[in-house]
Chains A and B, each alone.
Chain A
């Protein structure tokens, strides 16, 4: 499937492209249209296309969920460590580890919400648009 945007005039009813549904505009004079086609080509050339196999969103969603579990666990362990000793140095270390656990939890929650809620909100928005488009809605 190839779509050409013409920047040079072509004859109407020209020879068919055998590669499929190639659509070539019939060119009339005027620089505005030409520049729009060139602009489109330039913009398409800079388009960033993600590899559909990369599944980055799914990986980040799982990472966020994992951090949500690991963070509280780290904090909990640090809590018990601080309680099992009277050594102030060890207790301070435990406080630092517990705070890291809290930070990991917050970070994990943010990543999880970003990549789980984004899909949900997209669906919700699409549903809203669909409802608005139904006559009599």
Chain B
């Protein structure tokens, strides 16, 4: 999901994860209406939100941050093993306070914490925030690999280039409404118009059809 500042992207993720109630519309997960469901219940069943700002505990070590995810009946050793298998760089930093790592490594830790809980749906908010383009590209390659393991991933991004390369479907959100959705290649061509407030013709048709979720 792409869109300019204030478009409602992060709000939409919070609505999906049950943290906010929608003013209108429904959230369907796996074909079941989950509007109004307790976020804790959704998280326990495999819906995982990585919020903007990563949501890690900077004063705790990497290992302690990972231990936070042992609630699904997975042992601490298993959690560490899974995280390090996906992100070997974290293996060398297990006893380091998370806040002293680079931004990219902190984002790796946030992703590692998410995947060790074996989520079915993963919601990522502004993965690229404050990171160098190379790091962002590496992280999105990992995100693609996770998606290839049958995890449904919704990524909210302001900066489109990296995420459009790995996405299956893209949508543009402006002022709380979808103004365009489709294949990433098609969306890439409409982005400048959508961001500047003048979405292209097909996008306007889509928005006026009333399908846009708010």
Q: Which residue of A is nearest B31, CB measured?
A: A41
Q: How far is the CB of B113 from chain A (nearest CB, A)?
A: 13
B57 interface residue per 8 A CB criterion: yes
Instruction: Supply 16 A–B pairs (Cβ within 8 Å), ascending by A.
Output: A1-B22, A3-B16, A3-B121, A4-B30, A5-B30, A5-B152, A21-B169, A23-B168, A24-B169, A25-B148, A37-B120, A44-B45, A50-B36, A133-B57, A134-B58, A135-B58
**Interface pairs A-B: 7 shortest CB-CB:** A33-B150, A40-B120, A16-B182, A41-B30, A43-B45, A52-B36, A2-B28
Given contacts A17-B181, A23-B153, contact A1 B25 (CB under 8 A): yes
Residue of A nearest to B9 (CB): A21
Chain A residues within 8 Å of B, Cβ to Cβ: 1-6, 12-28, 30, 32-34, 36-37, 39-41, 43-45, 47-52, 132-137
Q: Establish whether residues A51 and B34, one from each chain, have CB atoms under 8 Å apart when the complex forms.
A: no
Among B24-48, those with CB < 8 Å from A are 25-38, 41-42, 45-46
CB of B136 within 8 A of chain A? no
Given contacts A21-B171, A25-B150, 13 further A-B contacts (CB under 8 A): A1-B12, A1-B28, A3-B121, A4-B31, A4-B152, A6-B150, A17-B181, A23-B169, A26-B147, A33-B149, A44-B45, A132-B59, A136-B58
Residue of B with least CB distance to A131: B59
Say yes or no for B89: interface residue by CB 8 A criterion. Answer: no
- Among B28, B35, B56, B183, the residue within 8 A (CB) of A3 is B28
User: Which of A1, A18, A43 interacts with B206 by CB under 8 Å?
Assistant: A18
Could you tell me if B36 and A25 are in contact, using CB atoms closer than 8 angstroms? Answer: no
**B33 lies within 8 A of A3 (CB):** no
User: What secondary structure prevails in chain B residues at the interface with A?
Assistant: loop
Query: Any chain A CB within 8 A of the CB of B104?
Result: no
Majority SS of interface residues in chain A? Answer: loop
| A47–B35 CA distance with the chains assembled, in angstroms | 11
Instruction: Name the contact of A24 in the complex, choosing from B12, B22, B27, B152 (C-beta under 8 A).
Output: B152
Tell whether, in the assembled complex, residue B183 and residue A16 are in contact, meaning their CB atoms are under 8 Å apart: yes
**CB-based contact A20/B153 at 8 Å:** no
Complex contact B121–A40 (CB within 8 A): yes
Closest to B206 in A: A18
Across the interface, name the chain A residue whose C-beta is closest to B148: A28
Query: Is B4's CB within 8 Å of the partner chain A?
Result: no
Which of B57, B148, B178 has a CB less than 8 Å from the CB of A20? B178
